[in-house]
A and B are shown apart, each in its own frame.
Chain A
Amino acid sequence: MYAFEFHRPSSVADAIAALKAASDGKLMAGGQTLIPTLKQRLAQPSDVIDLGGIKELHGIRQDGNSLVIGAMAKHGEVAGSDLVKSVIPGLHELAGLIGDPQVRNRGTIGGSLANSDPAADYPAAVLALNATIKTDRRSIAADDYFTGLFQTALADDELITAISFPRPEACGYAKFRNPASRYAIVGVMVARTGGGVRVAVTGAGPCAFRLPDFERALAGSFSADALAGLSVSPSGLNSDMHASAEYRAHLVRVMAQRAVKAVR
């Protein structure tokens, strides 16, 4: 790991100020992606700004018909929250499938979304549930947020403060996981929302994406059988030592059908 200066601000304003003052600053949430990246010398920030001391980024609360999860909420907190379980059970379940207990005790929803790993779980939930990403300066709709491989709509010096999930009528998540890393080879969330059925996929492409033809089929008949005749083109999907693009394309339909069956 290269050397860096370390800062532990206690407010979002101070974190942004530290980021702006640094020649090449990097925010750190739980460090579950950033520390391995620094160890491999894949990044060499001049300054690391730890978000762990900022109270306003913590906590999970209900706001009207939405669940608002602070950026620094750990996966283990979401997976252990009775509030999340009662408002959006599918999200509660998804959080418990991330990594292992120790990763869940440190990794955060804000870090996961800022990173936008193609195999991360939360992106599927954010897209399927039509969540809003709240930052220090604006609100970003889920449909505008994921822009490419490890790419998002965030500006370089923008900080996620919270994610707001409108309560769906019901949703379900199915994940085909890599048995070693536990990341999603393919994960699909299906949600029945006030704005219609939404189906979002993670693991298969460069970033999370929706499946409009699956959504139309489920709007016609909300059942796993309604997806039986559909297929996904492997073109543009990820292909690596874990799974070919063709296999991932196949898994997308299988996981979507399982997600429909898991809907609660």
Chain B
Amino acid sequence: MAKVSMTVNGQNVTRDVEPRTLLVEFLRQHLDLTGTHVGCDTSQCGACVVHLDGRSVKACTMLAVQCEGAKVMTIEGLAQNGELHPMQAAFREHHGLQCGFCTPGMIMSAIDLVQHNPSPSEDEIRHWLEGNLCRCTGYHNIVKAIKAGAASMGG
């Protein structure tokens, strides 16, 4: 066992874990934060995307112990005082989801994009989503939602 401490959605957490515990397992099974999904478990689909120190990463391709001292943000950490984050609200408003399985990863990925490129073009959004797969929507409304989300985030 190894002891690991990190900040998850603003709260300090310390747990004893096996070194082979994936970050996504740590979030879902140790912290009961099941908003982060596992689609492929092979680093392809992006359903597991979370923020590590402000950048989007695939939580299925990281060990929890690699996050020692880091700040992790998951989909559960976005809403403030019962208000959806503007990107979440935009996905709802623009029907950026059908089954919703890919959505937490899409939203975390989109927020990383907008934090570094406040008003991305449609082309930039589509390129950015290379690591996020959706089986339902055909992407059009996801792209629309991200454009709108970027605008309401102040871009």
Contact = CB atoms under 8 A, between A and B. Distances in A.
B63 A6 contact: yes
Given A1-B20, A36-B43, 10 more contacts: A5-B19, A8-B65, A31-B66, A32-B43, A32-B61, A80-B116, A99-B130, A100-B46, A100-B131, A101-B109
Nearest to A181: B44
Nearest to B68: A8
A105 B63 contact: no
Interface of B: 2, 18-20, 22, 41-44, 46, 49, 52, 55-58, 61-63, 65-66, 68, 109, 112-113, 116, 128, 130-132
A138 to B, nearest CB: 29
Contacts of B130: 99-101, 182
A99 B130 CA distance: 8
A31 B62 contact: yes
Interface of B is mostly: mixed
B46 A35 contact: no
Interface of A: 1-6, 8, 28, 31-32, 35-36, 38-39, 48, 50, 52-53, 76, 80, 99-103, 105-106, 180-182
Contacts of A76: 55
A79 to B, nearest CB: 11
A101 B125 CA distance: 11
A32 B66 CA distance: 13
Interface of A is mostly: loop
Contact of B131 (A5, A38, A101): A101
Residue among A5, A52, A106 with most chain B CB within 10 A: A106
A175 to B, nearest CB: 14
Nearest to A35: B61
B2 to A, nearest CB: 6
A48 B19 contact: yes
A6 B19 contact: yes
Contacts of A6: 2, 19, 63, 65
Given A36-B61, A39-B41, A182-B130, A102 B49 contact: yes
Contact of B19 (A3, A52, A100, A101): A3
B46 A50 contact: no
A6 B62 CA distance: 13
A50 B55 contact: no
Contacts of A180: 44
5 contacts: A3-B19, A48-B63, A101-B56, A106-B61, A181-B44
Contacts of B61: 31-32, 35-36, 106
A4 B2 CA distance: 11
B80 to A, nearest CB: 25
B71 to A, nearest CB: 14
Contact of A35 (B2, B62, B131, B132): B62
A4 B109 CA distance: 31
Nearest to A74: B55
Contacts of B68: 8, 53
Contacts of A106: 57-58, 61-62
Contacts of B55: 76, 105
A4 B19 contact: yes
A102 B2 contact: no
A71 to B, nearest CB: 16
Contact of B128 (A4, A31, A32, A101): A101
Nearest to B4: A6
B111 to A, nearest CB: 12
